[in-house]
Amino acid sequence: MRWSAPARQVEPPRIANLTGDRHAGWRWRMRIRCCLRLRAAHNT
């Protein structure tokens, strides 16, 4: 019952994305790519 609260908080975003925000998912991917690129640049 304790971890029921956190699970609830983690579910909303996922459902929202699956429901119909395909654009959001695509944007999210681009954002992650950008972050990874910046990280790589910093590491090098």
Domain ranges (residues) in the chain? 20-44
pLDDT in tens, 2-37: 555 555 555 555 655 555 666 667 777 888 888 888
Structural contact between residues 25 and 17, judged by C-beta atoms closer than 8 angstroms:
yes
More confident residue, 11 or 41: 41
Helix (H, G, I), strand (E, B) or coil at 1: coil
pTM for the model stands at: 0.36
Report whether pLDDT(41) > 70.
yes
Query: What pLDDT is stored for residue 16 in this prediction?
Result: 57
What pLDDT, on a 0 to 100 scale, did the predictor assign at position 34? Answer: 83
Q: In one letter, which amino acid is 44?
A: T
User: Which tens digit of pLDDT belongs to each residue from 30-40?
Assistant: 888 888 888 88
